Structures are given as C-alpha cells and as structure tokens.
C-alpha cells in the first residue's frame, strides 16, 4: 500500500529545494492540498474555512462548477497559443464595458507585471521619470514598487526606503513617497515636483485602509491640473468592491488601472487598462519607435485563464451578487466586533466589507504608520487561535467569498469567540 506523506514530511522536503522552505508568498508551515467551495484542507487532512482564497482571486470559492465546466471545455481545444484568441478578445471587451477608465486593455500574467508596465507606460506618455507612491502601498515586485512598501525605519517624506536588496540607488532617486490620505502633503509635493512626475500610483483602498472623503478626488484634480497620469492599482479591488471596481465604488476615474486576481478566475492573468491615447504607446505604428513601449509575455491572454475570467465575471453580474457579498462581510465584521467589545479589547475593524481585518488599537487608522502602531503580538495570537480552530486567513486581511455558508459563518463565530475569550482576554 502506498504510504501518503504527512504535512511535516512535505515541509521538510520543501526546505531542501525552496529558499526559506516556501514559495515566498505565505507561511511555509502549512501545505494546502485541496480546496472546494469555501473550504481548504491541508496535507494532514485538517479542514478550514478559507478567508485567504488564494490571496483574493477565488471570489466564487474553489472549484465553482460553472467555471470548471467552461475550463474543461476549453482545455482540449488548446491551453495556450501566444497569439490572439477569441476568449481573450471577449474578456477585453467585457473589461472595457465594466471599468470606467478602460478604453483598451493589454494583458500580462501577474499583477506585479501590470503595475510595472503601467508605471513604464506613464513615463512613455509624459516623457517624465519620477513616480509618486504612498507609504505602505503594495504594487508588486518591481524596483519602483519595492520602495517604502513596508519600511521598518520611519524616515522623513518624500524619501524612499528600499524594501529589498538588489535595487540601485538610481531607482530611489526617481521615487517620491507620501503618506496615504494626506491630500495637503500630496499637494505640496506635487507643487514642488510636478514637472518631473510621470504618475501617481495608488491603491484606492490601500491594503485595507479606506480613502478619507475627498482624498482620491483631490488626487484626480491634481493630476488633471499638472498632466500627471493617475494610476489606480485595482489588482485587489477590481471586480471585488463593485463590478466596476474601486473607481465605480468611489466615483473617481483614473487614467490607467491595473487588474488581476478575479479577471483570471483563479488562473494567472492580469492587465493594464486605460485611456486610448496612453494605451497607444503599446502600438508602434501610432507613436513611432522612440515612444513605443515594448511588451510581450508567453502566457499573456492565455485562453484558459480568459475563459475562467469570463465565466467568473458572468456570475458576478447576476442580480444581488454584490449585495450578498457585502452582507457576508458585514456579518463577519460584526461578529468580531461583538466578541471584542464584550471582552473590552481595544480594536478597529478596518477596510471594506469585501476586504478587511481587525487591528488591535484604539487609534483611528488613516495611514500605513497607523497600522504599524497597532499591537502586532495581539494580531499574531488572534490569527493563530483562529487557524487552530479551523479559520484560515492571512496575517493582515480577511477575504469573504461568495461560497460561504451559514455553517461557515457559525464555525467562524465560534472560533472568534474562543480566540477572544481564551487567547486574548488575559493578554
């Protein structure tokens, strides 16, 4: 009889062949073996309600039958071609219908690629070099994006702090860092550097921190006044906060946006979308060789991912879908607030019902530095207790999905109450 490997054995095997024993994404101390609906199972067979959902893309849950059917129909027809394909064209059409800023779409494979190309596109369009981003904003793994993503040192703005080795000092010189939700600081920075700034890139919901009223609108006005490209990083928020993303939810239209996660239905797919005059820089025949932005990728617009994305988006368009998602999120927020309030534990539930987390602080959260002032040891204890009780989430986010059931919510409530009463109340 074939002996099955335990999770601990898999962890040891990973350590031999993977740096730090993992893929670099998540805690390497857990190996997920399968997912179905709202649940995942580790390699020892332990079952969890899944609030990680692949870091966001599995909004319908794992293995949605309609998505599986569409993918299985495509697979024997071909898995990738490196050419245009009908599914990719149809998906681009739907993105342009759904997303206000999107006149045209260019596919890539990952969200980090999309952000990198959006920054490069803004530079090609404006002829300027500097990029303004907000401290704590996550925009992938490019050299520009790895500036002041999670700085340990609190330097004076607008100085950039590299988060990774291997980034030349020359990149730092092209980055301007501002605090999120501080429009006055942004205004002063732009007044000083506007002739050099190609783009402002921002997560409209920064990680889990919502924009204060007027902040995104103010950025839009400043960019318009100074010919700066406004980029919304909607890798996370696209088709999650609303069908049209954060720009629909907040009523602010950027010049470019980046999309990922949900548009691939669980497969690797992302995109840059935006105004046709800016997107024209992907077309050498329109802008000439000097202003042309070269971009290609072996799997960009992959038909399997495009089919999965099309079916996912079709399901999301059905009546009541987003009301239901928000109802699930509100229930999850409320059950945690009730338990923590009853125990007298200072906390803030930060984010949107479609994406949020608990921070252990009594301080209003407006910026990255505010999030860092929260009690991280309390968060670690809370998340550890939840996982031990069958609730699976990341250390900084809780993603509701549409597959959640009443049983899932009941299990989560019980786990939250135990985590608060047994794990936190006496800390």
- pLDDT digit string (tens) for 276-326? 999 999 999 999 999 999 999 999 999 999 999 999 999 999 999 999 999
What are 290-304's pLDDT values in tens digits? 999 999 999 999 999
Number of alpha carbons in the 13 Å side-chain half-sphere of residue 165: 0
Beta-bridge partners for 359: 348
pLDDT attached to residue 152: 84
Burial of 27 (0-12, 13-18, 19+ CB in 10 A): exposed
Q: What is the total count of domains within the chain?
A: 2
Beta-bridge partners for 62: 37
Catalytic site includes residue 103:
no
Query: Is 337 in the same domain as 303?
Result: no
> Is there a domain that residue 37 lies in?
yes
> Is there a domain that residue 359 lies in?
no
Q: In three state form, how does the secondary structure of 299-331 look?
A: CCCCHHHHHHHHHHHHHHCCCCHHHHHHHHHHH
Task: Band the pLDDT of 3: cuts 50, 70, 90.
Answer: low
Catalytic site includes residue 138:
yes
Query: Is 307 in the same domain as 326?
Result: no
> Is there a domain that residue 85 lies in?
yes
The average pLDDT across 28-54 equals: 97
Task: Band the pLDDT of 153: cuts 50, 70, 90.
Answer: confident
Query: Is 103 in the same domain as 175?
Result: yes
pLDDT at 2 over 70: no
Query: Is 272 in the same domain as 338?
Result: no
Query: Which residue out of 261, 311, 393, 397 is catalytically annotated?
Result: 261
Percent of the chain whose predicted confidence (pLDDT) is above 70: 99
> Is there a domain that residue 409 lies in?
no
> Is there a domain that residue 245 lies in?
yes
> Is there a domain that residue 53 lies in?
yes
The Cα–Cα gap between 112 and 118 comes to 10
pLDDT attached to residue 4: 72
The Cα–Cα gap between 107 and 37 comes to 28
Task: Band the pLDDT of 5: cuts 50, 70, 90.
Answer: confident
Do strands 47-50 and 391-392 pair parallel, antiparallel, or not at all (unpaired)? Answer: parallel
Query: Is 18 in the same domain as 89?
Result: no
Number of alpha carbons in the 13 Å side-chain half-sphere of residue 249: 22
Q: Which domain holds residue 95?
A: 66-316
> Is there a domain that residue 408 lies in?
no
What are 99-112's pLDDT values in tens digits? 999 999 999 999 99
Query: Which residue out of 233, 255, 352, 370 is catalytically annotated?
Result: 233
pLDDT attached to residue 426: 58
Site of tokens 């994406």: 355
Beta-bridge partners for 36: 39
pLDDT attached to residue 1: 45
pLDDT at 83 over 90: yes
Q: What is the mean pLDDT of the chain?
A: 96
Query: Which residue out of 107, 117, 138, 250 is catalytically annotated?
Result: 138
pLDDT at 31 over 80: yes
Dihedrals phi, psi of 70, to nearest 5 degrees: -65, -40
Question: For position 18, which CATH number holds?
Answer: 3.90.1150.10
């Amino acid at each position: 009889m074939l002996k099955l490997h335990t999770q601990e054995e898999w962890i040891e095997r990973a350590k031999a062949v993977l740096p730090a024993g993992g893929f670099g994404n998540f805690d390497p101390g857990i190996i997920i073996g399968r997912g179905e609906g709202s649940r995942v199972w580790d390699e020892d067979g332990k079952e969890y309600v899944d609030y990680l959902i692949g870091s966001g893309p599995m909004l319908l849950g794992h293995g949605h039958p309609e998505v599986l059917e569409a993918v299985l129909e495509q697979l024997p027809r071909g898995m990738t071609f490196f050419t245009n394909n009908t599914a990719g064209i149809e998906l681009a059409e739907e993105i342009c219908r759904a997303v206000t800023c999107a006149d045209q779409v260019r596919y890539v494979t990952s969200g980090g690629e999309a952000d990198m190309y959006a920054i490069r596109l803004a530079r090609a369009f404006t002829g300027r070099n500097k990029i303004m981003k907000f401290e704590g904003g996550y925009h992938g793994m490019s050299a520009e994006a790895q500036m002041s993503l999670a700085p340990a040192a609190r330097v004076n703005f607008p100085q950039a702090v590299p988060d990774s080795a291997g980034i030349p000092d020359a990149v730092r010189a092209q980055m301007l860092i501002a605090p999120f939700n501080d429009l006055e600081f942004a205004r002063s920075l732009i007044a000083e550097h506007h002739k050099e700034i190609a783009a402002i890139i921002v997560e409209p919901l920064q990680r889990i921190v919502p924009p204060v009223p007027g902040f995104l609108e103010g950025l839009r006005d400043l960019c318009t006044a100074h010919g700066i490209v406004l980029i919304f990083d909607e890798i996370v928020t696209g088709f999650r906060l609303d069908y049209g993303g954060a720009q629909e939810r907040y009523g602010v239209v950027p010049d470019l946006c980046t999309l990922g996660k949900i548009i691939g239905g669980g497969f690797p797919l992302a995109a840059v979308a935006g105004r046709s005059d800016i997107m024209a820089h992907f077309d050498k025949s329109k802008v000439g060789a000097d202003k042309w932005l070269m971009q290609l990728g072996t799997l960009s617009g992959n038909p399997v991912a495009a089919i999965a994305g099309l079916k996912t988006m079709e399901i999301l368009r059905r009546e009541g879908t987003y009301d239901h998602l928000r109802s699930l999120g509100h229930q999850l927020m409320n059950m945690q607030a009730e338990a923590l309030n009853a125990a007298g534990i200072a906390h803030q539930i930060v984010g949107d019902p479609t994406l949020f987390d608990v921070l252990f602080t009594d301080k209003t959260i407006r910026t990255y530095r505010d999030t860092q002032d929260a009690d991280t040891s309390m968060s670690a204890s809370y998340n550890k207790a939840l996982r031990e009780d069958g609730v699976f989430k990341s250390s900084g986010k809780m993603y509701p999905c549409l597959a959640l059931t009443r049983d899932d919510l009941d299990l989560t409530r019980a786990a939250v109450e135990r985590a608060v009463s047994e794990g936190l109340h006496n800390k």
